[in-house]
Amino acid sequence: MIDTIDPKTIDKPVARCSECDREVTHYNTFISSTNARSVICWQCLAREEKGFNAKRDYSRHGRRGVIPR
């Protein structure tokens, strides 16, 4: 069974984030293959996904003194 919650409503109960241990109202709940629930807040999720589409060898050459022309 899938419980759907509208993200615009604030009726969601307060939960503690598994990553940063803060009590948050904006979070996502993930269920692992062993039915263990983990609550991840939006800030930790955004921090984890930051730079997801960047290449591994990407670097800013301007910080090394190289000016691209």
Task: Write out the H or E segment, with its range, that includes residue 45.
Answer: helix 42-49
Instruction: Give the pLDDT confidence score for residue 8 in this predicted structure.
Output: 66
Q: Check if the beta carbon of residue 27 is closer than 8 Å to that of residue 15.
A: yes
Q: Does residue 66 fall inside a structural domain? A: no
Q: Is residue 14 part of a domain?
A: yes
Question: Per-residue pLDDT tens for 18-53?
Answer: 989 899 988 889 998 999 999 999 888 888 777 666
- Amino acid at residue number 55: K
| The predicted structure's pLDDT at residue 34 | 92
Answer whether residue 41 is part of any domain: yes
Please check whether residue 39 is in contact with residue 16, taking contact to mean a CB–CB distance below 8 angstroms: yes
Task: Label residue 12 by pLDDT band (50, 70, 90).
Answer: confident
Instruction: Tell me how many domains the chain contains.
Output: 1
pLDDT at 54 over 80: no
In a domain, 63, yes or no: no
In the block, which residue shows the tokens 């307060």? 14
Residue with tokens 């000016």: 67
Asked if residue 61 is part of any domain, the answer here is: no
* Residue 68 within any structural domain of the chain: no
pTM as predicted: 0.56
Give the pLDDT of residue 3. 74
